[in-house]
Amino acid sequence: MDILISEEFDSPAIQKLEAKYKVVRDGGLWKNPAKLKEMIAGARAVIVRNQTQLTSEVLSGAPKLIGIGRMGVGLDNIDMPTATKLGIVVISPLDANSTSVAELCLAFMLGLARKIPAADRSTRGGAWDRKSFVGVELDGKTLGICGFGRIGRKVSLLARAFGMKSVVYDPYVKADSPALLETGAKLMGTVEEVLSAADFVTTHLPQTTQTKRMFNERTFSLMKRGAFFINTARGGVVDECALVAALKSGHLGGAALDVREVEPPTEKTGLEQLDNVILAPHIGAFTAESQARTVAAVSADVDRLLSGEAVVNFVNMSKPARVTAET
């Protein structure tokens, strides 16, 4: 087998790969770890989204594997140290979905500020209750951005068009970064400074041991009373119970989450019952344009990889450092 696809997606780019290589598709394979281990053992490349868990054990049991195509950004479902140690190329087009996620973030901000989902539900129910849906404007507000990579920078640019000013926390961004000048954002020294200054807080941080449940009872308490919280990054950076408590107490004005710690959620946390919460099923990258860019970029690089060429959208190495019977 040349390529194993373990989640549901299709496009003309995938069909081109099928015309050239032996491709096995199993959209539900990510749900069956034992079967995944069995099938990936015979694959030269695997293409995944965010559900397939490519652990050290899985990768170590795939002696022919030379490449992983990740449809989207975020590499927390891939054991990167093991992949790199084994010489496996990891492909991820990091720019492909920045616009889509950033625009969803702005949509969430507008939805929270103007109470759009609650107003929609009320009006559909036959009410005409204007007084209950007095909102706030984005103009003149401060946006706190935690994580100032490609998506965070795009959010800052979009927010600037709404008359917002941005304050930023990112330990990897320097004070002289051109991105700060481009967006007009102000770099803060700590996340606490950002939280206390912001009317809206959005996180674009990766999920790591350092960021695990970074937004918790303590950090939510540092936010302004009535502030709004948005997460389109990774669910694991948020303590959902603490978020529910902050919302129920009235300390936070609302929250919007596109991502959850467990996807799909297996238990209700109380977020589902709150009118000032917007929930979405991890759709940040799900626009027609973003999906087309992502699938095309990953497919082209998988083709390059299997043809012995250097890949373009690599995150660890451009060519496999692994010698297998297939290469």
Catalytic residue numbers read 234, 263, 282
User: Which residue type is seen at 47?
Assistant: I
Query: What three-state secondary structure class fits 275?
Result: coil
Give the CA distances from residue 37 to residues 55, 124, 322, in Å, rounded to whole numbers and listed in that order. 10, 48, 19
Distance CA(99)–CA(77), nearest Å, equals 22
Per the CB < 8 A criterion, the answer to whether 46 and 306 are in contact is no
Residue 204 tokens read as 């674009």
Contact at 8 Å (CB) between 35 and 13? no
Rounded Cα distance between 66 and 143, Å, is: 42
> What is the distance between the alpha carbons of residues 188 and 180, in angstroms, rounded to a whole number?
11
> What is each CA distance from 8 to 30, 47, 113, 299, in whole angstroms?
10, 10, 35, 15
Both structure tokens of 134: 């007095």
Tell me the β-bridge partners of 252. Answer: 227
Helix (H, G, I), strand (E, B) or coil at 253: strand
The radius of gyration computed from the CA coordinates of the chain, to the nearest angstrom, equals 21
- In angstroms, rounded to a whole number, what is the distance separating the alpha carbons of residues 125 and 199? 31
* CA atoms of 227 and 253, how far apart (whole Å): 5
State both tokens at 239: 């303590």
Report helix, strand and coil shares of the chain as percent, to nearest 5: 40, 15, 45
